């Protein structure tokens, strides 16, 4: 398949077979760059033989937002012109002079000279043109509901922006947001943007320690939170977590608290303010602060291979163009007809781009749901789809596999005929789940858009255009127009079709990260150093994922190749979990890996060496799991813990996590000749067989 996205003659309907063979290459020296490839940074090759293909349904393609593959050719022929045209989706105070300045690569500047305020694209124009259009149908977990129009959302955002200004928030001040999925959450992001104050959203499932780390890194001046959040019928004590975190974060001056659950929470005089009391009397109009296209819009922290999370920098102009463009094209948005539901939490980048900024910039009507998919019953999602007439559903493979496990009978209770497009995000999806999603959820009539992107990319990178692209179960298909990707070997050279390697992006794109907050060196080292040739002016972004292109040029994502685990779509650093384990007084050393898991994509497997004569038992496993949950959050709680007197290490002291993965996934052990003590891996393997895995 060529750059224009057209398909070669191999594609056709047929039976399906599915095989995966991971071939791990030995570490080798890359002399061209003077670095040694670690065993965690190995080439991954895979063989996928998936013969089923699905062309866009004719009735869908006939009225698709993008109905011709000419867009691929046009974007490739003049990429700057393509992105200049896409920038027309955004309201500019001052039109930009230059589309891209790449003179100080890898530090990009997009839409140079342009000024804007992103909320004028997301709110003002819709308030002026169609104030009564629904922006969000919101449903709380207990069953309470609200309908928020664009006019009402504009008023709420302006009142909140004025309230924040009264607390001293001004352009450039960072505001932390730690909330459940309530309507005040998107309003909080937009109110910050209205003032030119970057927001720092922290997922409400993170612990007080994790929250404090992110507040400190950003130097946040104000925190917006709730008294609590509903999840699975229980209250998550958000305000309690904030109080703990703020006791260690001197930058915080005020805490703004939304009344959600009615829980009794302490309020510190002079610092804590009830949201309703300060917002209700504010004016429902707030002038939007002009921002440069490259001004900071938000920080969002993602796990790294060091214990300190990375504050990913996204700026105003390029980010909004990327989010709005991809949302419109990939989700085939007909804004006056569609009801769009992205099930992601706004605490993650998917929620930023495809619950808040992309949909609102495009004038979409979206669904927000606060709680768990199984509360009070396992058909809650399908009840919501039926109630609001959802046309587009965008969710994670982890959720899809869970719904499969629960059974088709929960879907059969509801009319899902409103659905016309399905999307998947967060991790690679296996073909069986893809087919179930298409056939059972979508009734065999809905195209499935499997999307690949990252916190760092800001928006979708590899995904089908549903009116154009023939899809294959399990493949994210091809890069979007204006995106240049490749799969390379250890030397950075493109691999032939049919082979696997490292997924890279070879050309800058508007929504790309602009840096790691306060750490330019780490930004270059983490994302650009490995395959770039600066002396030749060649800068290549390394995504950290393995991938294969099949003989049709389709991309198949093979998972992470570094020490970041992908658990239910959440990227979690192994070192963060290891640090939390070693923080326990009984633990001397720990190694953590992600093992394959049919439900969550990857599950966290921990191998722990204890201090002194302490013996490991089931009680200590439970204690350690809860310790990690308290230090980082429940999503980082190990699924299994194996106690061992020694970890497998090379003679230089490097832990051989590759062997721990082999043990966790019951594979034949790889090369053990470099170990200081070969016998230890066999003992660990025996212990792993005899160690029960906790439930939940």
Residues forming beta bridges with residue 594, ordered by sequence position? 604
Q: What is the DSSP letter of 406?
A: H
154-172 pLDDT, tens per residue? 999 999 999 999 999 999 9
113-156 pLDDT, tens per residue? 999 999 999 999 999 999 999 999 999 999 999 999 999 999 99
* 55-69: b (≥16 Cβ within 10 Å) or e: bbbeebbeebebbeb
The answer to which of 26-30, 55-59, 87-91, 92-96 has the lowest mean pLDDT is: 26-30
Helix (H) or strand (E) holding 71: helix 70-77
pTM (predicted TM-score): 0.82
Whether 642 and 688 have beta carbons less than 8 Å apart is answered as: yes
Task: Judge whether residue 674 has pLDDT over 90.
Answer: no
334-393 pLDDT, tens per residue? 999 999 999 999 999 999 999 999 999 999 999 999 999 999 999 999 999 999 999 999
Mean pLDDT over 17-39 rounds to 30
447-484 pLDDT, tens per residue? 999 999 999 999 999 999 999 999 999 999 999 999 99
188-215 pLDDT, tens per residue? 999 999 999 999 999 998 889 989 999 9
- The predicted pLDDT at position 304 comes to 53
**Taking the CA atoms of the chain, what radius of gyration do you get in angstroms?**
25
Distance of CA 536 to the CA centre of its chain: 33
For residue 421, CA distances in Å to 138, 173, 474, 574, 670 come to 21, 39, 16, 35, 43
249-300 pLDDT, tens per residue? 999 999 999 999 999 999 999 999 999 999 999 999 999 999 999 999 999 9
Mean pLDDT over 10-31 rounds to 32
Task: Judge whether residue 682 has pLDDT over 70.
Answer: yes
Task: Judge whether residue 662 has pLDDT over 90.
Answer: no
- The predicted pLDDT at position 36 comes to 31
Q: What is the DSSP letter of 681?
A: H
- The predicted pLDDT at position 568 comes to 84
Please state, for a pLDDT cut of 90, what percent of the chain lies above it: 71
* 597-616: b (≥16 Cβ within 10 Å) or e: beebbbbbbbbbbbeeeeeb
Helix (H) or strand (E) holding 189: helix 184-195
Q: What is the DSSP letter of 354?
A: I
Contacts of 600 (CB under 8 A, 6+ apart): 398, 567, 568
Mean pLDDT computed over every residue of the chain: 89
Mean pLDDT over 560-569 rounds to 77
- The predicted pLDDT at position 21 comes to 29
Contacts of 682 (CB under 8 A, 6+ apart): 669
What domains are there in the chain, each with its CATH number? 23-116+301-560 (3.40.50.12780), 150-289 (3.40.50.980), 564-689 (3.30.300.30)
CA 461, CA 478: separation in Å to the nearest integer? 9
- The predicted pLDDT at position 649 comes to 73
Task: Judge whether residue 6 has pLDDT over 70.
Answer: no
612 pLDDT band, cuts 50/70/90, is confident
pLDDT higher for 302 or 395? Answer: 395
- The predicted pLDDT at position 49 comes to 60
Whether 531 and 492 have beta carbons less than 8 Å apart is answered as: yes
Whether 417 and 262 have beta carbons less than 8 Å apart is answered as: no
- The predicted pLDDT at position 571 comes to 65
Task: Judge whether residue 427 has pLDDT over 90.
Answer: no
Whether 545 and 557 have beta carbons less than 8 Å apart is answered as: yes
């Amino acid at each position: 398949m060529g750059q224009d996205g057209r398909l070669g003659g191999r594609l056709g309907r047929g039976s399906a077979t599915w095989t995966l063979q991971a071939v791990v290459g030995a570490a080798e020296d890359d002399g061209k760059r003077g670095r040694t490839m670690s065993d965690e940074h190995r080439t991954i090759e895979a063989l996928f033989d998936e013969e089923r293909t699905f062309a866009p349904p004719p009735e869908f393609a006939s009225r698709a937002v993008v109905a011709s593959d000419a867009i691929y050719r046009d974007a490739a022929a003049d990429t700057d012109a393509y992105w200049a045209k896409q920038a027309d989706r955004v309201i500019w105070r001052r039109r930009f002079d230059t589309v891209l300045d790449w003179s100080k690569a890898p530090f990009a500047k997009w839409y140079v000279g342009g000024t804007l305020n992103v909320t004028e694209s997301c709110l003002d124009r819709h308030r002026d043109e169609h104030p009564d259009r629904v922006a969000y149908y919101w449903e709380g977990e207990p069953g309470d509901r609200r309908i928020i129009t664009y006019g009402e959302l504009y008023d709420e955002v302006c009142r909140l922006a004025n309230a924040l200004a009264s607390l001293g928030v001004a352009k450039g001040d960072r505001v932390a947001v730690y909330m459940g999925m309530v309507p005040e959450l998107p309003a909080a992001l937009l109110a910050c943007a209205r003032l030119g104050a970057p927001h720092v959203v922290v997922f409400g499932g993170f612990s007080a320690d994790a929250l404090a780390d992110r507040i400190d890194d950003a130097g946040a001046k104000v925190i917006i939170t709730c008294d609590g959040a509903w999840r699975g019928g229980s209250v998550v004590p958000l305000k309690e977590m904030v109080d703990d975190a703020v006791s260690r974060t001197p930058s915080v001056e005020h805490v703004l608290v939304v009344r959600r659950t009615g829980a009794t929470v302490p309020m510190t005089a002079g610092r804590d303010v009830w949201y309703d009391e300060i917002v209700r009397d504010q004016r429902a109009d707030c002038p939007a602060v002009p921002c440069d296209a490259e001004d900071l819009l938000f920080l969002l922290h993602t796990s790294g291979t060091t214990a300190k999370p990375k504050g990913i920098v996204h700026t105003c102009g390029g980010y909004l163009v990327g989010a709005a463009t991809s949302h419109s094209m990939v989700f085939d948005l007909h804004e006056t007809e569609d009801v769009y539901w992205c099930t992601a939490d706004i605490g993650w980048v998917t929620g930023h781009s495809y619950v808040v900024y992309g949909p609102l910039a495009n004038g979409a009507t979206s669904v927000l749901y606060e709680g768990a998919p199984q509360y009070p019953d396992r058909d809650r999602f399908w009840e919501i789809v039926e109630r609001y007439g959802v046309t587009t559903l965008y969710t994670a493979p982890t959720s899809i596999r869970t719904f499969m496990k629960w059974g088709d009978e929960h879907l059969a209770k509801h009319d899902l005929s409103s659905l016309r497009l399905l999307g998947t995000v967060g991790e690679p999806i296996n073909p069986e789940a893809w087919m179930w999603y298409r056939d059972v959820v979508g009734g065999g009539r809905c195209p499935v858009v499997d999307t690949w992107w990252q916190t760092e990319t800001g928006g979708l990178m590899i995904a089908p255009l549903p009116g154009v692209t023939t899809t294959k179960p399990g493949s994210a298909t091809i890069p979007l127009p204006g995106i240049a990707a490749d799969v390379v070997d250890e030397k950075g050279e493109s691999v032939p079709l049919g082979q696997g390697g490292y997924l890279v992006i070879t050309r800058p794109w508007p929504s790309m990260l602009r840096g790691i907050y306060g750490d330019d060196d780490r930004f270059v080292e983490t994302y650009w150093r490995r395959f770039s040739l600066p002396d030749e002016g060649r800068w290549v972004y390394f995504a950290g994922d393995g991938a294969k292109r099949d003989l049709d040029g389709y991309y198949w994502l093979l998972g992470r190749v570094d020490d970041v685990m992908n658990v239910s779509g959440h990227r979690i650093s192994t070192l963060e979990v290891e640090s939390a384990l070693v923080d326990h007084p009984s633990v001397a050393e720990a190694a953590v890996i992600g093992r394959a898991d049919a439900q969550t994509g990857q599950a966290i497997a921990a191998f722990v060496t204890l201090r002194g004569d302490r013996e490991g038992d089931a009680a200590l496993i439970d204690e350690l799991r809860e310790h990690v949950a308290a230090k980082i959050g429940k999503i980082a709680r190990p699924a299994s813990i194996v106690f061992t007197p020694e970890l497998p290490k090379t003679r230089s002291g490097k832990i051989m996590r590759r062997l721990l993965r082999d043990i966790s996934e019951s594979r034949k052990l790889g090369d053990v000749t470099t170990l200081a003590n070969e016998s230890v891996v066999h003992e660990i393997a025996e212990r792993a067989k005899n160690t029960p895995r906790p439930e939940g």
